[in-house]
Amino acid sequence: MSIGFGIFLFAVGAILAFAVEIQVDWIDLRMVGYILMGAGFVVTILGLVLMARRRQSTSTTRTAVDPATGQRVTRQENSQDPL
């Protein structure tokens, strides 16, 4: 979600900075475009970093027969990757 939003901000900023030829007295649209492009770049990079740091967990289930008693033994292990 944040990667898509970052790309959206970058695209809107590029349109404002390079494609819009309207002059408004109270705001500089070119500067707003550059700010949006910078914000889009930052949001995209943060989204990529957070996606790479997302924890992954592994669940393992083992079933065996105990040779002494003949009973079925099931063991479950859960592990998470460290940060």
Per-residue pLDDT tens over the stretch 33-76: 999 999 999 999 999 988 887 766 777 788 888 888 888 888 88
pLDDT digits 0-9 by tens, 24-44: 899 999 999 999 999 999 999
In SS3 terms, the chain reads as CHHHHHHHHHHHHHHHHHHCCCCECCECHHHHHHHHHHHHHHHHHHHHHHHHCCCCEEEEEEEEECCCCCCEEEEEEEEECCC
- Nearest of 52, 62, 60, 58 to residue 3 by alpha carbon: 52
For residue 80, give both structure tokens: 């998470």
